[in-house]
Amino acid sequence: MTSRLRQLEENSDTEGCFLREVESFRRELRAHCYRLLGSVHDAEDLVQETVLRAWRGRAGFDGRSSLRTWLYRIATRACLTALEQRGRRPLPVGLGGANADPRGPLDSRPEVPWLEPMPDALFADPAEIVTDRADVRLAFIAALQHLAPRQRAVLILRDVLCWQASEVAELLDVTTVAVNSALQRARERLARLSIAEKELVEPSAAEERATLAQYVAAFEAKDVPAVVHLLAADAVWEMPPFAAWYRGRRDVGRHLVTRCPGGPGDLRLIQTRANGSPCVALYLLDAARGDHRPFALQTLTLARVGIVHVVTFFDLRLFRTFGLPASLPAVSAESCRSAAHLPRG
């Protein structure tokens, strides 16, 4: 809770109770705003705005709906207003360009408001993500960006949160017929996008752990063939803010040989989770400082056939969002060379 909200809470016991009850919905409101906006940082700002609006408008809450419904109404409307001034947040594949030449120049597009990952720990109920990941996956959040803002809101409220059409109509101040029409168009649009990851056969927990351990060891040893071996044949590799993206083991391998910095021991990786999927934080050796500094964050989509999708995010703000350390101690290159002898089975 911010210092401003703490000051408000201290005004009286009754008002403090109201704020504490509102705060109990922060996690699920953050997840809702994230699905609408595609940015964990924007979502946090809009949740803060929602709490402040709720506080200022508390006298108008008459109890005809639940506090939760009232807060979702405030949050959704705040997000829709914000989306009027902001474009959609794509991933590189979503820009429509072709598979790039892995040895060609990289075109950085910092002006594009790129999609962001969100730590599992920040979702409404991280435990539920283990059993139901579909509505938090990065591929789903990216697909939502192709919908008009109101269609996006309708689909999330109806298909993710399971609201009744009449409830959504009241929230958006439209008719039930309009809600049903928007939902149909949104579903048709998502169907045309054909989110391939919905059809994946996921690995077992043991298989996932083994693959991640090999991936981390291969990257830290800068063993490009070992990294490539873990990929599915048609794996996709993306790297916002760079517009280029690659498909297939050969092109991803050529990209890594050409672009991956440092040598054995120069990269260190920490495992975490984002959007219901494995994620690794990469730290690059800073020789002058003698430690490893934040370099990039990768989300990985795993299937029985291998790693099918890697998105590398170079937004270093994400390290703080994920609660990751600001640096890691250096390790000897020899220990990483020994890890280079990885099984290919």
One-letter amino acid at 70 equals: W
- Pairing of β 328-329 and β 291-303: antiparallel
Contacts of 202 (CB under 8 A, 6+ apart): 208, 302, 303, 304
Provide the CATH number for the domain around residue 11: 1.10.1740.10
In terms of residue numbers, what domain contains 209? Answer: 205-339
Provide the CATH number for the domain around residue 259: 3.10.450.50
Are 324 and 272 in contact by the 8 Å Cβ rule? The answer is yes
Q: What is the largest CA-CA distance in the chain?
A: 67
Give the domain-ending residue among 56, 86, 116. 86
The pLDDT value recorded for residue 94 is 92
Give the domain-ending residue among 86, 110, 126. 86
Residue 15 lies in a domain: yes
The pLDDT value recorded for residue 225 is 98
Residue 198 lies in a domain: no
The pLDDT value recorded for residue 333 is 53
The pLDDT value recorded for residue 344 is 46
Per-residue pLDDT tens over the stretch 301-330? 999 999 999 999 999 999 999 999 999 998
Count: domains in the chain: 2
In the predicted model, residues of the chain with pLDDT beneath 50 are 1, 4-5, 8-9, 338-345
Residue 307 lies in a domain: yes
Residue 263 lies in a domain: yes
The pLDDT value recorded for residue 5 is 46
C-alpha to C-alpha distances, 222 to 186, 248, 249, 261, nearest whole angstrom: 43, 19, 16, 9
Residue 321 lies in a domain: yes
Per-residue pLDDT tens over the stretch 103-159? 888 999 999 999 999 999 998 666 566 556 788 999 999 999 999 999 999 999 999
C-alpha to C-alpha distances, 232 to 102, 247, 305, nearest whole angstrom: 17, 10, 6
First to last CA, the chain: 49
Cα separation, 137 vs 151, in Å, equals: 19
What does pTM read for this prediction? Answer: 0.89
Residue 51 lies in a domain: yes
The pLDDT value recorded for residue 341 is 45
User: With the C-alpha atoms ordered 156, 159, 163, 166, is the resulting torsion angle positive or negative?
Assistant: positive
The pLDDT value recorded for residue 197 is 61
Give the domain-ending residue among 37, 67, 86. 86
The pLDDT value recorded for residue 339 is 45
Cα Rg of the chain, angstroms: 22
The pLDDT value recorded for residue 17 is 83
The pLDDT value recorded for residue 87 is 83
